[in-house]
Structure 1
Amino acid sequence: MEKPVIIFGAKGIARPALEIFNSNEVVVYGFLDEDEKLHGTEINVIPVLGNPEDDGFLKLIGQKCEAFVAIDDTKYRKFLVKMLNERRKTQPVNAIHKSAYISTDAEIGHGNFINAKVNIGTAAKIGSHGIFHTGATIDHQAEIGDFVQVGASAVINSGAKIGEGAFIGSGAVIISGITVGKNARIGAGSIVIADVEEEDTVFGNPAASISKK
C-alpha cells in the first residue's frame, strides 16, 4: 500500500488497527473521531485530527490517503462506509495483521479488520467490513457476509454460512454446514449445532434461543 491511511474512529479497534498498519509498514496519517474531546490528542504519537465528516479531511481520501473504518458499532460503521462510497467514491482498505493466515484460494472483500493469528481457509468467502478478532478460524468453504463480527478464538467450521451483520461471540463454535441468519447473535462460548434464524439470539451448549418471544 503506497498511500498513507486515515483511520476513522479512535476507540475500540482503532489501536489494534494502528498496530496492524504499523506492522505492515503502512503510514497512518491520523485518526478521525466524532468525540471532540479526543481532537488534538495523540494515540501512539499519531494525531486525532478531527471529525469523520469534516470535508477538509475527507477530500484527502482517494487522492492522497486511503481510509479504514475502525468502528465497532455496526450501524455507525455502515454510515461511514456509505459516506465514503458516496462522497469519495472509494472503499475502505483491509487491515490484515501480518501473522494472520489467509489461503490464496480465499475471497475477501473490502474494509475488513483481521487481527493476529486469524486463519481463513481454502475457498472461504469473506464479505466486506467485517471484524475478525485474534485467533478466529474461518474454515474451508465457509461464507461470511458483510459487517459480520467474529470474536476471539471463535471457529466457523467448513461450509457454514454467516449472514450479514451477524455477531459471533468469543470462543463460539459454528458446526459445519450451519446457517446463521442476518443480524443474529451467538453468545460467547456457544456451540451452534442447528441453523439460527435472522435476528435471533442464541446461547449455550448446545445453543438455544434466548430472544424474547
Structure 2
Amino acid sequence: MKKKLLIMGANGHGRVAADIALKMNKWKNVAFLDDNESIKSSMGLEIVGSTKETHKYTENYDIFVGIGNNATREKMQKRLEDEGNSIPILIHPSAVIGEQVRLEIGTVVMAGAVINCCSTIGKGCIINTGATIDHDSLIDDYVHISPGANLAGAVKVGKGSWLGIGSIVVNNINITSYCNVGAGAVVVKDLTEAGTYIGVPARRV
C-alpha cells in the first residue's frame, strides 16, 4: 500500500470512491485522473492528469478505477495490473464485512452494505450503497450490485453482471455471466443465459 491514492474518473462513481477513500483515512493524499481537460478539480481534490497516464504514477501511488461501467472498469483495471500498479480495495467505514469474507483488488464496498460470512467478492466489483450479500455467496469479477439489492445465501453471480437497484435474489441461485437484472426484479430461479431480466419473477426480455 502506498501513501497516495489516485482515482481514475472524477464523475459520480469516482467521487463516491474518493469519498470512501477519504473516510478510510489511509492515504495522505487523494487525487483524480480524468480525461476531461476542462476541469482541474472535483470535490476539492486535484485532477493531476489523464487516465492514460497511469504509468507515470506506478511508483508512488495506489490507483483505483472509479468507473461505473463494468466493461470499461475491467479494461482499465487490467491495464493497471499489466503496468504493475498497486490496486487497493475501498470499504466504507459503515459497511459490515463478515468473517472469512474474501475481497479482491479494485472492489469497492459502499456505505451501509453488508457482506456476510464466507462469501467471496471478485476483482473490480461494486457493492453499492445498502446492498446485502448473505453467507456463502460468490460474486465473480467486475459485477455491480446496485444500491438496495438483496442477495440471499449461497448465490453465485457470474462475471460482468449487473443487478439493478432494489433487486432481490433468493437463496441458492446461479446467475450466469453478463446478465442485467432490472430494478426491483425478483430472481427465483437460475439465470442460465446472458441477457436482460425484468419483473416479478424475473424473466428474460
Question: Given the two structures, how large is their TM-score scaled by the length of structure 1?
Answer: 0.91
Question: Residue in 2 aligned with 1:13?
Answer: 13
C-alpha distance in 2, partners of 1:104/1:178?
22
Give the CA deviation at 1:151: 0.7
Instruction: Name structure 2 gaps, 5 residues minimum.
Output: none
Of 111, 120, 124, the residue aligned with 1:125 is 120
Give the CA deviation at 1:29: 3.5
Q: How many residues align?
A: 204
Tell me whether 201-210 or 75-84 shows the greater mean CA deviation: 75-84
Give the CA deviation at 1:90: 2.9
Q: What residue identity is the alignment partner of 1:129?
A: G
Could you list the runs of 4 or more consecutive aligned residues of structure 1 that deviate by over 4 angstroms after TM superposition?
A: none
C-alpha distance in 1, partners of 2:24/2:129?
17
Give the CA deviation at 1:28: 3.7
Question: 1:125-157 CA distances to partner (integer Å, 9 max, x unpaired)?
Answer: 111100111100010001100000011110111
1:27-46 equivalent positions in 2, closer than 5 A: 27-38=28-39, 41-46=40-45
C-alpha distance in 1, partners of 2:154/2:86?
28
Aligned residue for 1:49, secondary structure, equals strand
Aligned residue for 2:6, secondary structure, equals strand
Question: Given the two structures, how large is their TM-score scaled by the length of structure 2?
Answer: 0.94
Kept in 1: contact 2:2–2:61 (CA 8 A): no
C-alpha distance in 2, partners of 1:7/1:75?
17
C-alpha distance in 2, partners of 1:148/1:107?
15
Give the CA deviation at 1:102: 0.5
Q: What residue identity is the alignment partner of 2:69?
A: D
C-alpha distance in 1, partners of 2:162/2:3?
32
C-alpha distance in 2, partners of 1:174/1:20?
27
1:1-213 equivalent positions in 2, closer than 5 A: 3-25=3-25, 26-38=27-39, 41-54=40-53, 58-61=55-58, 63-87=59-83, 89-210=84-205
Give the 3 Å change call, closer, same or farther, for CA 108–10 of structure 1 in structure 2: same
Q: What residue identity is the alignment partner of 2:117?
A: T
Aligned residue for 2:76, secondary structure, equals helix
Question: 1:19-71 CA distances to partner (integer Å, 9 max, x unpaired)?
Answer: 11111113343111122222xx21222111221112xx53322x211011101
Q: How much is the aligned-residue C-alpha RMSD, in angstroms?
A: 1.4
C-alpha distance in 2, partners of 1:28/1:128?
24
Instruction: Name structure 1 gaps, 5 residues minimum.
Output: none
